[in-house]
A and B are shown apart, each in its own frame.
Chain A
Amino acid sequence: KQEVTQIPAALSVPEGENLVLNCSFTDSAIYNLQWFRQDPGKGLTSLLLIQSSQREQTSGRLNASLDKSSGRSTLYIAASQPGDSATYLCAVRDNYGQNFVFGPGTRLSVLP
């Protein structure tokens, strides 16, 4: 059964720092991997989607990488801002393309 973990569980950094969030999964037979952002009391906002055949995706200050063989993905946030404060979740979709398995999330605080 696929399991997804995220490290660290929480992170606090000063504004302007570059940072990396980690996501690990146990079964490398994935269809895709998606990073989301969740603000308190809100739904999930899609940030980046990486197909199983891709190595990375970029959107603005965000860059996500995927290493299927080692079961890992990283989300790199450049020049962090207080508005980046949120919980970041990764989710993997299995090769049957039906369900997502979510990690528990990393709670990020960017201090002004």
Chain B
Amino acid sequence: DGGITQSPKYLFRKEGQNVTLSCEQNLNHDAMYWYRQDPGQGLRLIYYSQIVNDFQKGDIAEGYSVSREKKESFPLTVTSAQKNPTAFYLCASTDTDGQGLAEAFFGQGTRLTVV
């Protein structure tokens, strides 16, 4: 059963603490993405990766970090430098097989709350 798995579903962070959100896919997709969603706003791109060991900053990368050591995994770390981390975080992946489909698939999201 192919898809994208995000964990945990809910995460609570104390002030000054780093936390890591997990994203795993078994779709054999090369490209993976992290988005942030705030109430009343559209999705905003944090980081993306087109291939293993390579990633690029999106529109709101400050205070976040990622790694892409394996094709299946693209974890996002929310650092203490991110001043307003409370949001819904979504991970996505797409194929880049040259066929041009590039359909995006999303995980079920992680809701991060600062306490």
Interface residues of A (CB under 8 A from B): 4, 31-32, 34, 36, 41-46, 49, 51, 89, 91, 93, 97-100, 102-105
Docked-complex contact B48 and A46, CB < 8 angstroms? no
The count of residues in chain B whose C-beta lies closer than 8 Å to any C-beta of chain A is 29
Which residue of chain B is the closest to A100 with respect to CB atoms?
A: B104
A105 and B96 contacting across the interface, CB-CB below 8 Å: no
Of the A-B pairs whose beta carbons lie under 8 Å apart in the complex, a sample of 21, sorted by A's number, is: A32-B102, A34-B104, A36-B106, A41-B111, A42-B108, A43-B107, A44-B90, A44-B92, A49-B101, A49-B103, A89-B43, A91-B104, A93-B102, A98-B31, A98-B50, A98-B56, A100-B45, A102-B42, A102-B43, A103-B42, A104-B41
Interface of chain B, main secondary structure: strand
Question: Is B58 close to A, CB under 8 A?
Answer: yes
- Nearest CB in chain A: distance from B44 CB, A: 8
On whether A46 and B103 interact (CB within 8 A), knowing A99-B45, A102-B43, A103-B42, the answer reads yes
